[in-house]
Structure 1
């Protein structure tokens, strides 16, 4: 399958601890010619720093961009959208991290509370029915609050390299189909 190139710049927003070389976000960054958000500290994240990192990546993109976020990056984008509603053209939110869940690591608690306002741009949320960092009911609730279209993956864990999602060609096809539908509308 030949994938279409998005009609706007692409920014990759990784989650906590970044996305390594085997992670699908790193593969997609190359495949889509995307910019990657650079944060000061991937292991001791601070919301203000992460918002600044996303802002810098969007500045470098030069125009509203498609943001492809994973895990804590999804929550970062939801916070960013409240402050800068016109900097993002669309978003794909994969396996959002529930920073408010019982037992959430202390390092990510500063990203709560999770914004519950609709995102001011089209968004697709891809969730797994067995994500250890965001229960299915919570992912469905976030999609509803954010006004995101929701796609479920069965047994996909946290949709990262550890759960077998390296290049994740099927995800790229989901992105392509969703963009084609959004652009046709």
Structure 2
């Protein structure tokens, strides 16, 4: 399975570990590239958005798909509002609700949530029992961002702790963006 787009893996808080689906995808597809943030544990939104923009602009933005997980989804929305780049699309998996009282401390500038129509196609993938976002809030984010919403049932935060390793179903969703929805 080859992809025609430039796929930029965009991890969230703490980066994605060795068994996380983002890392496994990156290992499986040599042309997938990871956006490396300078500070994975105490992120500043303006720093993260700047890094995303610097990396996206190394490629043809019209052929870039960002694959975000958790806090990276919020970052991608903030980046899109600030820089207004026309990329091919974004896969936004398990977006964190940074306004929720249960969201971990240590992040700066990720509130309020950026709620506006993204200037590119996007798909939000969420579960019914994610401890970082309720289904209602994930639905609100998808509506505001103009994203297609895919609810995959009781899948937690769609990470290693929830049993997600290679996640072939996620690759099929990404394939839809790669093919232009």
TM-score, normalized by the shorter chain, greater than 0.5: yes
Residue 86 of structure 1 corresponds to which residue in structure 2?
85
Distance 1:28 1:91 in 2: 15
TM-superposed deviation, 1:102: 1.6
Computed over aligned residues only, the root mean square deviation of the Cα atoms, in angstroms, reads 1.5
- Which residue is equivalent to 1:27? 24
Distance 2:15 2:41 in 1: 8
Q: Any gaps of 5 or more consecutive residues in structure 1?
A: none
| Structure 1 stretches of 4+ moved >2 Å | 59-64, 177-181
2:163 equivalent in structure 1: 164
Task: Give me the whole-angstrom Cα distance separating, in 2, the residues matched to 1:22 and 1:80.
Answer: 27
Distance 2:174 2:5 in 1: 14
Would you say the 8 A contact 1:12–1:69 is kept in 2? yes
Matching residue of 1:50: 48
SS of match in other structure, 1:49:
helix
> Given the two structures, how large is their TM-score scaled by the length of structure 2?
0.92
SS in 2 for 1:12: strand
Unaligned runs of 5+ in 2: none
Q: Partners of 1:156 and 1:123 in 2: how far apart? A: 20
Most deviating of 19-28 and 59-68: 59-68
Displacement of 1:56: 2.2
Equivalent residue for 2:120? 121
Q: Is the 8 A contact 1:35 1:57 kept in 2?
A: no
Aligned 8 A contact 1:39 1:53 in 2: yes
Aligned length, in residue pairs: 179
Tell me the SS of whatever aligns to 2:102. Answer: coil
Confirm whether residue 11 of structure 1 aligns to residue 8 of structure 2: yes
Q: Distance in 1 between matches of 2:49 and 2:108?
A: 15
Do the aligned partners of 1:70 and 1:94 also contact (CA within 8 Å) in 2? yes
Deviations 1:16-55 (A, max 9, x none): 0000110000111233421111111100111121112212
